[in-house]
Amino acid sequence: MAGNEEGALWSIFGYLLSGLIIWGGIGWALDKWLNTGFFLLGGLVLGAGASLYLVWLRFGRE
């Protein structure tokens, strides 16, 4: 099942990417809105963590 493993690889990449984009984007918007500078960093960290958790839920549980 080489194809499935390759697929899992790309799905994981997709999850990590969207985690960073979504929560990083929310952080960036909050920074713009409130004139602060730390929400972007916090959002990126939160997004990366949440994505990793999601990857674990989907691929690491069984």
Burial of residue 24 (CB within 10 Å: 0-12, 13-18, 19+) is buried
- If one asks whether residue 36 binds other proteins (CB under 8 A), the answer comes out as no
* Residue from 39, 50, 59, 60 binding other proteins (CB under 8 A): 50
- Site size with other proteins, rule: CB under 8 A: 26
- If one asks whether residue 32 binds other proteins (CB under 8 A), the answer comes out as no
Instruction: Give the sign of the dihedral formed by CA 28, CA 32, CA 33, CA 36.
Output: positive
- If one asks whether residue 54 binds other proteins (CB under 8 A), the answer comes out as yes
* Residue from 24, 40, 44, 46 binding other proteins (CB under 8 A): 46
